[in-house]
């Protein structure tokens, strides 16, 4: 029999998180700080709207690009929150989560051997999606001394004649880094100079703790070369509903829509009705969840400082990314020992790119009670490691 | 800071002051001063504990009582409300809109005790026109907290 498998797909490494997941699953009583989704339930009025749409028998396909009502609300929302104007008819596609959006954006813009710059540490899907789109992924290592923000110089250094697309993953998973307006302006200059396009993954936009999030599409000259990705998973605690969207100039949207149309058909109808309710009446829920995350974030920043664990203050998402280099072991060893000895799971930074070595992703999408227990165990653990080192 | 502080202590009045300062991103002394200020302004009226008495062996009966009254000249409902809230067994007294005037919540050891209060003390009051007593059979949720169900984390243990 011939080999049934594609070389390209076989060449892609499975997610580094998977291995860790299997270990943690064996420990039912472990506290997990490794979870990349909100600990809140979807607000009830949003769930209720989903249920109501089922009761009403709204169980059919929607148009390929999504319910008109939802696309209109998405445009209203982006205008209200970020001063961004999009045409709901030609520039918006409702996708199956932010994940599909990443895929169709890359596939719509890439020709074989085009280079895509992927700043890391970052979400696990960019590199494989780029490979699947026939692109050459160019990994750019973000640095702790810049608080894991992307600098103009770093971008400039990564650009070649073949560079076409920059992926901009902020607020960032796993570091919690954000890009403020001045950072974005500097990066935008380089993007314009080299005539690049940007896929801006802003799924954590609402979880920003230092003023309001700024989108690169707000920087003059950038809207026409940006695919903005956002969604409902993080802001509204709707991960399981699988709903995101892209906003992009009509010519890009038209091509993305073909992929979406043939591969997906349309995003789940129930989820789309629920999302209309989220955008119409969910601002307060988002604000309340953000405040809770912010309280936990302040608690962890303070606790790590007390423990003497080096860590920059993260202003976005729900992650904190402490440095564990002083203990002279790899992130994976550290995470494995921490799990085995203290029953607390955190994801090694290397799961998000090789440059995550020496760091740990800690998610605070976890109750304050559990965070407190986890912090006291971490304190014990590193106390023991420091004592071992002295011997 | 006031609103956030109140939101937190409304749910957890036993929270440590240092921790409160940390999660609000302010100094401990500011929290202490703000709480003292709100206590003296009468914004913070007390620090209570939410108890599910059902789970104890202590017998308790709660009731909601609707009361229709005649307001009194010059004093509206305030005087009759005062007469009612002075009884220690009365938990809460609200003036409300709708088909009746006052809503009272009451706690007693037994049905008999609560009924006795209504028939001996409340109903005979001069300005009380009528009462309707509703006994609480089960508390599903109280003070924003679900009593009936334990929280269960159904998420995958690790996810990207």
- Cβ-based contacts of B6 with chain A (< 8 Å): none
A230: domain CATH number is: 3.40.640.10
In-domain check, residue A83: yes
Q: How confident is the model at residue B148 (pLDDT cuts 50, 70, 90)?
A: confident
Q: Give residue B152's pLDDT band: very low, low, confident or very high (50, 70, 90).
A: confident
CB contact under 8 A, A30 and B160: no
- The values of phi and psi at residue B97, to 5°, are -90, 165
Flag if B158 and A125 touch (Cβ within 8 Å): no
Domain positions in chain B: 2-40, 53-138
Compute CA distances A98 → A94, A206, A238, whole Å. 9, 14, 12
State how far the Cα of A125 lies from the Cα of A100, in Å rounded to an integer. 10
A242: in domain:
yes
Please state the ipTM of this predicted complex. Answer: 0.85
A172 touches chain B (CB under 8 A): no
Identify the CATH class of B2-40: mainly alpha
Q: Which of B7, B22, B158 sits opposite A34 (nearest CB)?
A: B158
Indicate whether B71 pLDDT > 90: no
Q: Can you give the pLDDT at residue A19?
A: 75
Are A347 and B158 inside 8 Å of each other by CB? yes
CB contact under 8 A, A302 and B22: yes
Q: Is the pLDDT of residue B124 over 80?
A: yes
Our count of domains for chain A comes to: 2
The pLDDT value given to residue A241? 98
What distance in Å separates the CA atoms of residue B93 and residue A15, rounded to the nearest whole number? 60
Same domain, A29 and A103: no
> Could you say which residues of chain A have pLDDT below 50?
none
pLDDT band, residue B86 (cuts 50/70/90): very high
Domain end (from A281, A301, A322): A281
**Amino acid A326: pLDDT:** 96
CATH code for the domain of A374:
3.90.1150.10
Q: CA quadruple A236, A237, A241, A245: dihedral positive or negative?
A: positive
Classify residue A391: in a domain, yes or no.
no
Minimal-distance CA residue of chain A relative to B153: A39
When the pLDDT of each residue in chain B is averaged and rounded to a whole number, the result is 92
pLDDT reported for residue B146: 86
User: Do A50 and A134 reside in the same domain of the chain?
Assistant: yes
pLDDT at B54: 87
Residue A357, min C-alpha distance to chain B (Å): 16
Residue-level pLDDT at A24: 86
In terms of domains, do A104 and A237 share one? Answer: yes
Residue B151 pLDDT exceeds 80: no
Q: Would you state the pLDDT for residue B75? A: 80
For residue A194, what pLDDT is reported?
Answer: 98
The yes/no answer on whether domain B53-138 falls in CATH 3.30.70.920 is yes
**Contact assignment for B156 to A35 by CB distance below 8 Å:** yes
Judge whether B57 is closer than 8 Å to chain A, CB to CB.
Answer: no
CB–CB contact A32 B158 (8 Å): yes
Same domain, A266 and A297: no
**Where residue B2 falls among pLDDT bands split at 50, 70, 90?**
very high
Banded model confidence at residue B137, pLDDT cuts 50, 70, 90: very high
Record: contact B156-A347, CB cut-off 8 A: no
Same-domain pairing of A332 and A269: no
| Structural domain span for residue A339 | 7-42+284-385
pLDDT at position A205 is 98
For residue B143, what pLDDT is reported? 87
What sign does the dihedral A226-A227-A231-A234 (CA atoms) show? negative
**Gyration radius (Cα) of chain A, Å:** 21
Q: Is-contact A235 A206, C-beta < 8 A?
A: yes
Query: CB distance from A102 to chain B under 8 Å?
Result: no
Any domain includes A390: no
């Amino acid at each position: 029999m011939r080999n049934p498998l594609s070389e390209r797909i076989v060449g892609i490494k499975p997610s580094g998180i998977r291995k860790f997941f299997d270990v943690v699953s064996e420990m039912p009583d472990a506290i997990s700080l490794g979870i990349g989704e909100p600990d809140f339930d979807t607000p009830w009025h949003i769930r209720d709207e989903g249920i109501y749409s089922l009761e009403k028998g709204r169980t059919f396909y929607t148009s390929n690009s999504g319910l008109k009502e939802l696309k209109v609300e998405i445009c209203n929302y982006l205008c209200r929150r970020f001063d961004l104007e999009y045409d709901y008819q030609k520039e918006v596609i409702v996708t199956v989560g932010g994940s599909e959006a990443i895929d169709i954006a890359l596939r719509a813009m890439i020709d074989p051997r085009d280079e895509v710059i992927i700043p890391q540490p970052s979400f696990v899907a960019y590199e494989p999606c780029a490979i699947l789109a026939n692109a050459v992924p160019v990994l750019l290592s973000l640095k702790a001394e810049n608080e894991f923000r992307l600098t103009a110089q770093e971008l400039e250094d990564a650009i070649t004649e073949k560079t076409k697309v920059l992926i901009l993953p902020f607020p960032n998973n796993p570091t919690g880094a954000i890009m403020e307006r001045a950072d974005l302006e500097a990066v935008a200059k380089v993007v314009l100079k080299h005539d690049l396009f940007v896929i801006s993954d802003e799924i954590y936009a609402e979880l920003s703790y230092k003023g309001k999030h700024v989108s690169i599409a707000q920087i003059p000259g950038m809207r026409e070369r940006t695919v903005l990705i956002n969604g409902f998973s993080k802001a509204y605690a709707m991960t399981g509903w699988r709903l995101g969207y892209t906003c992009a100039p009509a010519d890009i949207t038209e091509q993305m829509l073909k992929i979406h149309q043939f591969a997906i058909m349309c995003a789940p109808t129930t989820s789309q009705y629920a999302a209309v309710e989220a955008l119409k009446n969910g601002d307060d829920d988002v604000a309340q969840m953000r405040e809770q995350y912010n309280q936990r974030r302040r608690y962890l920043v303070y606790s790590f400082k007390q423990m003497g664990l080096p860590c920059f203050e993260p202003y976005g998402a729900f992650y904190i990314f402490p440095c564990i280099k002083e203990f002279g072991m790899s992130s994976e060893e550290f995470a494995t020992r921490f799990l085995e000895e203290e029953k607390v799971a955190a994801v090694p930074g290397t799961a998000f790119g090789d440059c995550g070595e020496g760091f740990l992703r800690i998610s605070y999408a976890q109750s304050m009670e559990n965070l407190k227990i986890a912090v006291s165990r971490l304190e014990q653990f590193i106390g023991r490691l420091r004592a071992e080192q002295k011997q | 800071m006031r609103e956030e502080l109140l939101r937190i202590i409304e749910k957890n009045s036993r929270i440590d002051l240092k921790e409160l300062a940390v999660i609000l991103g302010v100094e401990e002394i500011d929290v202490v001063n703000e709480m003292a200020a709100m206590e003296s302004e009468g914004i913070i009226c007390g620090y209570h504990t939410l108890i599910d008495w059902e789970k104890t062996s202590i017998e308790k009966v709660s009731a909601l009582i609707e009361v229709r009254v005649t307001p009194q000249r010059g004093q509206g409902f305030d005087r009759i409300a005062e007469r009612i809230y002075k009884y220690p067994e009365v938990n809460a007294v609200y003036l409300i809109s709708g088909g009746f005037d006052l809503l009272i919540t009451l706690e007693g050891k037994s049905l008999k005790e609560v009924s006795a209060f209504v028939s001996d003390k409340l109903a005979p009051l001069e300005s009380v026109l009528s009462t309707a007593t509703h006994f609480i059979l089960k508390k599903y949720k109280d003070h924003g907290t679900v009593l009936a169900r334990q929280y269960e984390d159904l998420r995958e243990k690790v996810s990207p």
